[in-house]
């Protein structure tokens, strides 16, 4: 398995296009944090009458835990971001993730309710759309290298 991963990482197309490698890492972290979200949610709602009755709050707690984990892992592993701008990046990441959640819910609702898709197929489509949304926006906005932002500010002030 290690050899396969190493071969894929060193593949000509991946070397030429580092965003492919980033996307794969982003997807791996997303899958892991989906399980984390589900684990926190089930842990809360199945272990306590309070959380069972307040399952939407439990889902919010699970979202915050999994999104925070996703932020830390993507910052350090996917995007290898060394900046100390956590106070700027973390709210951006949560905003992107929250919008992704709304996109997911909207697609799921529309496909199931109006187009009569089987819910798991609709969920797979929604997850795919949101995966691309989250990756692209986080890559271009949340974890954009600071130098590019500063150069852009300089160009805007010179105009």
pLDDT tens figures, 30-41: 999 999 999 999
Give the pLDDT confidence score for residue 1 in this predicted structure: 65
Judged against a pLDDT cut of 80, whether residue 147 lies above it is answered with: no
Assign 157 a pLDDT band (cuts: 50, 70, 90).
very low
Give the pLDDT confidence score for residue 8 in this predicted structure: 67
Mean pLDDT to the nearest integer, 38-65: 93
Percent above pLDDT 70 for the chain:
87
Place of tokens 């954009």: 144
What sign does the CA torsion over 139, 82, 30, 104 have?
negative
Judged against a pLDDT cut of 50, whether residue 140 lies above it is answered with: yes
Judged against a pLDDT cut of 60, whether residue 149 lies above it is answered with: no
Count of alpha carbons within 13 angstroms of residue 9, beta-carbon side? 9
Asked if 96 contacts 134 with a C-beta cutoff of 8 angstroms, the reply is yes
Asked if 34 contacts 134 with a C-beta cutoff of 8 angstroms, the reply is no
């Amino acid at each position: 398995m290690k050899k396969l991963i190493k071969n894929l990482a060193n593949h000509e197309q991946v070397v030429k296009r580092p965003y492919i490698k980033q996307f794969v890492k982003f997807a791996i972290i997303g899958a892991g944090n989906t399980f984390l979200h589900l684990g926190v949610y089930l842990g809360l709602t199945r272990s306590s009458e309070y959380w069972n009755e307040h399952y939407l709050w439990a889902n919010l707690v699970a979202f915050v835990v999994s999104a925070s984990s996703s932020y830390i892992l993507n910052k350090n592993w996917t995007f290898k971001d060394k900046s100390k701008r956590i106070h700027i990046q973390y709210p951006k990441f949560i905003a992107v993730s929250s919008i992704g959640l709304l996109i997911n819910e909207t697609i799921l609702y529309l496909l199931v309710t109006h187009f009569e898709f089987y819910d798991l197929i609709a969920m797979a489509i929604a997850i795919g759309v949101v995966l691309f949304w989250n990756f692209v926006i986080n890559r271009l906005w949340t974890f954009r290298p600071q130098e590019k932002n500063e150069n852009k500010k300089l160009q805007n002030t010179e105009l």
